Structure formats: structure tokens, C-alpha cells
Chain A
Amino acid sequence: MDLGPHAAFIVSAYVIATLVVAALAVWIIVDHRQQLRRLADLESRGVTRRSERGPSLPRSGGPAPGPIGG
């Protein structure tokens, strides 16, 4: 395909578009992995929301379970 005398401008526009889209995608993928890792780390240390704790935990009577472990 002949892009004519302005080929450099056309190719530059497509290359820059590719780089911008790739940068957005990489940023989002890296951020996703980072958040997954942080959540897994917290959950492995027993830090979970009350609603996510097992039914074996006391719901009433005695001291309320703290947010860590239980």
C-alpha cells in the first residue's frame, strides 16, 4: 500500500494510538494483579469482613469477634 508523501504522519498516528491503548491495558492488568495480591495477603492473615466469616463464629453472646482472625 502506498501511503504517499505523508506516510510518516499516518504511521506515527497509528503507532501512538497503539502505544496509548497498550499502556492503558498494561496499567489495568498490573493494577488488577496488585489488588488480587493485596487481597490474598490480607485474607491469608485472616483479615476479612464480618459478612464473609464462617457461620461457626459466634453471632451473639460473648465478646464480638474482632476484625482480625476472630
Chain B
Amino acid sequence: MALIDLANPTRFRALADSVLPWLGAATVVAFAFGLERAYFAPDDYQQGATVKIMFIHVPAAWLSMMGWGLMSMAALGTLVWRHPLADVAAKTAAPLGAAFTLLCLVTGSLWGRPMWGTYWVWDARLTSELVLFLMYLGVIALWRTIDDPGRAARAAAVLTLVGALDLPIIKFSVDWWNTLHQPASVFRVGGSTIDVSLLAPLFVMAIAFTLLFFTLHFAAMRNEIMRRRVRTLLMMQADAAGGH
């Protein structure tokens, strides 16, 4: 089967049925391993045990950006190729991205209070991440406002591509402005500044969270394909009732 064939919604649904149990199992195993590594990770010499919040805060932050990146690629699929599966991918990624962005903001607050002495500051990194959360809510609202999925997809795609400008702002905010949030410490020129004893559990947890995202996304896409099928059948039923 060619890869392009999987872009057929019916085939994708069959693929999701067979892949989801394995993806779910891989997610559980990755989380078990990651949480075990996080539990036994040493305390940071400055932050003490609060560094354990990093193992959920940082993957959530990465996923918040990955979610919008995925939606942006899907938006191109919608606007350029008008592919219905691209619409489905974008629509179902939005609530997941919003949830992980909220998780990033809340865990960041809970980490900030003991380390910075405050739950929130209007610095560039925190504010641009909050803007991302609000944009997720805007896209979700847009999807719910327009009844026709095709029209909703095109409107949401335009908003998504415009909103993608926030991604480099989030990433480089700590370099462009003087922020309370620390500068990049994992992916940076010259290598990570985090000791490997903390970096290893962080990467395992990041893999676990990424697997979780794709498990939930596949499942949500399958649901959306079924919802559209129900909608089509109901419209056929209404047409038939109107024609008789």
C-alpha cells in the first residue's frame, strides 16, 4: 500500500484501529520507564527536588509547540491540496495542543513560585506561551462556530498559519528579551547545560509525552472521521426525507 493511500479517511480509520493498541502500549511502557527515572533522578544543586517538575513542564512545553507545528503543516494540506484528512488532523490537534499548553503554563507557575517567588510574570517567554494557549482556544472556537467542516477548515487554516509566527517568538524570546525565564538549556549551540543524570530522564519523559500525544491524536482523528460519516449519513437521510 502506498503512503498516499493512508490519506484516505476510511483507510486511515482502519490503520488507526490496528496501530492504536500498540501505540497505547508503547506510551504506557515509556511512561513507566520515564517516571521511574524521574523518581530516582538526583536533586538539582540549586533547585533541589523542584527540578522534578521539569520532567513534565518541559515535555508539555515542547508538545504545545509541536501541536501548533502539526496544525500548521495540516493547514497547508487544507489550503494547498484541500485534503479532508488534513482538516481532520488540524481540528483534532487543537484541543490536545491546548491541553498541553495549559499543562505547561500551570506546571511552570508551580515551579516558578518556589524558585522565583512568584507564580507569574509578564516576561516574553511566559506571555508568548499564554498567547499560544489563547490562539488554541481561538482555533477551537472557530471550528465550533462554522457548521460546514470545509469552510471551518479553511478559516482555521489561515488563523493557524498566521499564529505560527508565535512559535519562533516563543523559542527565541529568552534570547531576544531580558526574561526571568531561563535561557535555552537543552537545545542550544555548544550543547546542553543540564547534567546527563537529569537530561536522560527528561528525554525519556519527552518520548513518553510525544507517544501519548500521537496516541490521543490518532484516536481523536478516528473519532472525527466517524463524526463526519455520521454527519454525511444524517444529511443523506434528511435529503431523502425531503425528496419523498
- Which residues from chain A sit less than 8 Å from chain B, CB to CB? 1-7, 9-10, 12-14, 16-17, 20-21, 23-25, 28-29, 31-32, 35-36, 38-39, 42, 47-49, 66-68
Closest 3 CB pairs of A and B: A67-B236, A35-B226, A6-B114
By the criterion CB–CB under 8 Å, are B113 and A47 in contact? no
In the bound complex, how far is the Cα of B216 from the Cα of A10, in angstroms? 25
Residue of A7, A16, A42 near B230 (CB, 8 A) is A42
In the bound complex, how far is the Cα of B95 from the Cα of A7, in angstroms? 30
In the bound complex, how far is the Cα of B60 from the Cα of A42, in angstroms? 39
In the bound complex, how far is the Cα of B50 from the Cα of A3, in angstroms? 8
For chain B, residues 41 to 58, give those with C-beta under 8 angstroms from any C-beta of chain A: 43, 48-50, 52-53, 56-57
Known contacts A12-B110, A16-B106, A49-B232; A68/B220 CB under 8 A? no
Shortest Cβ distance from residue A4 to the other chain B in the assembled complex, whole angstroms: 5
By the criterion CB–CB under 8 Å, are A66 and B219 in contact? no
Closest A residue to B237 by beta carbon equals A47
By the criterion CB–CB under 8 Å, are A42 and B234 in contact? yes
Chain B residues contacting A67 (CB-CB under 8 Å) are 233, 236-237, 239-240
Binds A, one of B96-104, B153-161, B166-174: B96-104
In the bound complex, how far is the Cα of B232 from the Cα of A20, in angstroms? 32
Known contacts A4-B49, A67-B237; A9/B103 CB under 8 A? no
Chain B interface residue bracket vs A: 35 or more
Closest B residue to A19 by beta carbon equals B103
Shortest Cβ distance from residue B128 to the other chain A in the assembled complex, whole angstroms: 21
Known contacts A14-B56, A49-B233; A32/B50 CB under 8 A? no
By the criterion CB–CB under 8 Å, are B106 and A32 in contact? no
Q: List 9 A–B pairs whose Cβ atoms lie within 8 Å, in order of A's numbering.
A: A5-B48, A9-B111, A10-B52, A13-B110, A20-B102, A24-B95, A28-B220, A39-B226, A68-B241
Chain B residues contacting A47 (CB-CB under 8 Å) are 233-234, 236-237
In the bound complex, how far is the Cα of B230 from the Cα of A32, in angstroms? 12
Interface check B144, CB cutoff 8 A: no
